[in-house]
Chain A
Amino acid sequence: MKAYDVAELAMRNLRESVLRNSLTTIGISVGVASLVAMLALGIGLQKLADRRLEKSGLFDTVIVTSRREIRNFNHEQEGAGPAPAESPSLDETARQNIEHLPNVLEAYPDIRFVTELRYEDKPHLTMVAGLTASAKNNEAFDGMAGSFFSSATAPEVILQKSFAEQLLGQSSRDDQNVKVSDLAKSLLGKQLLMRYAERTAASDSTAGQTASSAAYSVVSREQTLRIIGVCDLDPDSLRQQARARVFLPLEFAENLHVLQPSDLRDTTNVLGGKPTYTTVEVRVKSPKYVPSVEDSIKKMGFNTFSIVDATKNLRQFFAVLDLFLGIFGSLALAVASIGIVNTLVMAILERRREIGIMKAIGASDVDVKGLFFAEAGVMGIFGGAVGVALGWTIGRVINLGANVYLKRQHFPPEQIWFVPWWLVAGAIAFAIVVSLISGLYPASRAARLDPVQALRYE
């Protein structure tokens, strides 16, 4: 028989006992739905964890330090590469080279210093950090009130929420739910006076006298800054920004030449007079590029540090979780497959005579087998499709319920449930395969039926 005829006859036979076959198909649907819902939850949780980790900046960041550094993040690296004294210095040229490596989003120096900020004549000591223009797009600044820096050199400042509270004399302990916009209302446009120590090249330094170029003098300076924004950064984030409470535009901060802790050490080194960075943070497109970027940077002669292996372990954990969720989800499908066997065996008993007739008028074993096989397959297709829709709906409801709960607990809503296209296709395919396997025994039993016996049967 042609495939089309097999399918048509199978559909007809299924319609003949529509209730029984519908019930069997619903059984498959429930099985598929539980599988889809379980796996969607597993995948959703994995995505949630990935998102959280990505936000934390832990896994797409490479921290670069010069080998000249006394302290090293990674002792294994010390043995390899050029000796610390011969290694290149981490300056602006090196930063640009790193930034031009493939898969690197940006590389920025870690400029931070502790200094005094005066607001309404009251001094506040805090950590100040330079912020790249790209940070604007960071989701961490989504809840910011006010505006981002107008230019990379503007004397403007963005305050972390906790520091803004400190300036206004509020303690964050009093009320957890102070709104960023309330703080911004009384602070935006106001002036801050920053007092800092500038490092200037020694006045007597001349070209050719390299030894003296390492010398510098420290001058006390004052700079007026305008408050343009208040942000609420996730304190869990390990990105550079979160570790300071006051932010300046990066280039502006750089040009201040604030005395850095590393400058003290420079006095002991022979240096070309150019400023060097203590550390450069490199943001990579995706965690998977971290190792290759790290390798390239190491080849340039710098030390690197990143956390990559943790994601591997996490993925392994989720693979195991998905496996178990999948097994539990499949249990219902296994039960449903017994339903298919039962339905088809019943159909054989009921259609004994029909099978006998078909064989008498020339149906081969393959034809009869194909017919029952197709019936199982059609139930699988319908069961799979309905099951995916059902599983999707169940997932939506679970997600909705979870978000209602999260809202009550004052957490932001999260998508803990995700159905990728391959799960849809895979679940339907799995339902068909399971149905076909279930149809194997009834189909061969129908094919083996003795036509003489079957025709005698009334």
Chain B
Amino acid sequence: MSSAVQQNSTESVAIGTENLSRTYRMGEAEIRALDGVSLQVRGGEFVALLGQSGSGKSSLLNLIAGLDRPTSGSVLVQGHDLEKLSRQDLAKYRLKTVGMVFQSFNLIPSMTVAENVELPLRFAEVDRERRHFICQQALDRVGLGARIRHRPTELSGGEQQRAALARALINQPQILLADEPTGNLDSRTGTEIMNLIREFNESLGMTIVMVTHERALAERYAKRMILLADGKLVDDQINLATANAELTQRGTR
């Protein structure tokens, strides 16, 4: 099954890694977080990165996000080798090309929800009036109209994650990177957030890479599941459940 994916992937590769390794030094010991991972993600895919904690899935996500530099190997996103980007260009890449959501939401507590959402627009030097307009649009899209003048701590977890999603969307990136987006949420709000992410994938055509340790969640939403263990890629398969659902949907249409 994995070979079939590899064959099709050449048409539009959004993310590609080549023999990617990342080692950390912890005092004397050397920890291999990632060990020779090669994979390709096509544009518009919804990929779940599965694995135990310490399997290297978050390290892989950080490398794709351009937050970290690999020890060896390379990351290519939309044809650009991240290794070759300057620090300045890497910041621009994080600003424009990828959006990120985190398990702990990572909203800035001293800013209101609206200010948090429009912060990337400040980095992108967008005018104040235009900023308000885009911000409102993004907030509407995630269904967070009210309480946007409140500080994040005054909102529920689900609302905070909606705000974080709005922030990730605001510069209209083609790739959304999600690190355990439902990890701090109860199952009902978790479902709401996942439905939003699926909607981004389906209606906006965004490429989604989601890190999770919940196999059930991955099976329910992702179209492709990649399993990591000890920094190595151990399994890469099409999620039959979602693939079938899609086929059924197409059939009925």
Q: Is the CB of A361 within 8 A of B94?
A: yes
Q: Is the CB of A358 within 8 A of B111?
A: no
Which of B110, B111, B123, B124 has the largest count of A CB atoms less than 10 A from its CB? B123
Q: Is the CB of A455 within 8 A of B102?
A: yes
Chain A residues with CB under 8 Å of B87's CB are: 364-365
B 59-76 contacts with A by CB, 8 A: 62, 65, 67-68
Expressed in whole angstroms, the Cα–Cα distance for A367 and B87 within the complex equals 12
- CB-CB under 8 A for A359 and B94, given A2-B122, A364-B123: yes
- Chain A 165-199, CB-CB to B under 8 Å as 1, else 0, gives 00000000000000000000000000000000000
Chain A residues with CB under 8 Å of B168's CB are: 361
Partner of B106, one of A360, A363, A450, A452: A360
B100 in the interface (beta carbon within 8 A): yes
Give min CB distance, B58 to chain A, whole Å: 9
Q: Is the CB of B62 within 8 A of A361?
A: no
Give min CB distance, A206 to chain B, whole Å: 99
Which of A13, A354, A361 has the largest count of B CB atoms less than 10 A from its CB? A361
A16 in the interface (beta carbon within 8 A): yes
Taking Cβ atoms with an 8 Å cutoff, the residues of B that contact A are 62, 65, 67-68, 87-88, 91-92, 94-96, 99-100, 102, 106-108, 110-111, 119-120, 122-125, 167-168, 171
Expressed in whole angstroms, the Cα–Cα distance for A450 and B65 within the complex equals 13
Q: Is the CB of A360 within 8 A of B110?
A: no
Taking Cβ atoms with an 8 Å cutoff, the residues of A that contact B are 1-2, 5, 9, 12-13, 16, 353-354, 356-367, 450-452, 455
Chain B residues with CB under 8 Å of A361's CB are: 94-95, 99-100, 119-120, 123, 167-168
Q: Is the CB of A359 within 8 A of B124?
A: no
Chain A residues with CB under 8 Å of B171's CB are: 362
Q: Is the CB of B123 within 8 A of A1?
A: yes
- CB-CB under 8 A for A452 and B68, given A12-B110, A360-B94, A360-B100: yes
Chain B residues with CB under 8 Å of A353's CB are: 106
Expressed in whole angstroms, the Cα–Cα distance for A16 and B151 within the complex equals 13
Chain B residues with CB under 8 Å of A357's CB are: 106-108
- CB-CB under 8 A for A455 and B106, given A1-B125, A2-B122: yes
Q: Is the CB of A13 within 8 A of B91?
A: no
CB-nearest residue of chain A to B97: A362
Q: Is the CB of A451 within 8 A of B96?
A: no
Residue pairs across A and B with Cβ atoms less than 8 A apart, 20 shown, are A1-B122, A2-B122, A12-B110, A16-B110, A354-B108, A354-B110, A358-B119, A359-B67, A360-B94, A361-B99, A361-B119, A361-B168, A362-B171, A364-B91, A365-B88, A366-B88, A450-B68, A452-B62, A452-B68, A455-B67
Chain A residues with CB under 8 Å of B92's CB are: 362, 364
Q: Is the CB of A364 within 8 A of B88?
A: yes
Q: Is the CB of A360 within 8 A of B67?
A: yes
Give min CB distance, B79 to chain A, whole Å: 20
Q: Is the CB of A12 within 8 A of B122?
A: no
Give min CB distance, A6 to chain B, whole Å: 9
Expressed in whole angstroms, the Cα–Cα distance for A356 and B68 within the complex equals 12
CB-nearest residue of chain A to B65: A360
Closest 9 CB pairs of A and B: A362-B95, A364-B91, A5-B122, A362-B94, A451-B67, A357-B106, A16-B110, A362-B123, A452-B68
Expressed in whole angstroms, the Cα–Cα distance for A357 and B107 within the complex equals 8
Expressed in whole angstroms, the Cα–Cα distance for A1 and B110 within the complex equals 19
Chain A residues with CB under 8 Å of B100's CB are: 360-361
- CB-CB under 8 A for A363 and B91, given A5-B122, A9-B122, A452-B68: yes
Expressed in whole angstroms, the Cα–Cα distance for A391 and B125 within the complex equals 40
Q: Is the CB of A362 within 8 A of B120?
A: yes
Chain B residues with CB under 8 Å of A13's CB are: 110
CB-nearest residue of chain A to B167: A361
Expressed in whole angstroms, the Cα–Cα distance for A251 and B166 within the complex equals 94
CB-nearest residue of chain B to A12: B110
Chain A residues with CB under 8 Å of B110's CB are: 12-13, 16, 354
CB-nearest residue of chain B to A354: B108
Given A360-B94, A452-B62, 19 further pairs, Cβ under 8 A: A5-B122, A353-B106, A356-B106, A358-B123, A359-B94, A360-B100, A360-B102, A360-B106, A361-B94, A361-B95, A361-B100, A361-B123, A362-B95, A362-B96, A363-B95, A364-B88, A366-B88, A450-B68, A451-B67
Chain A residues with CB under 8 Å of B99's CB are: 361
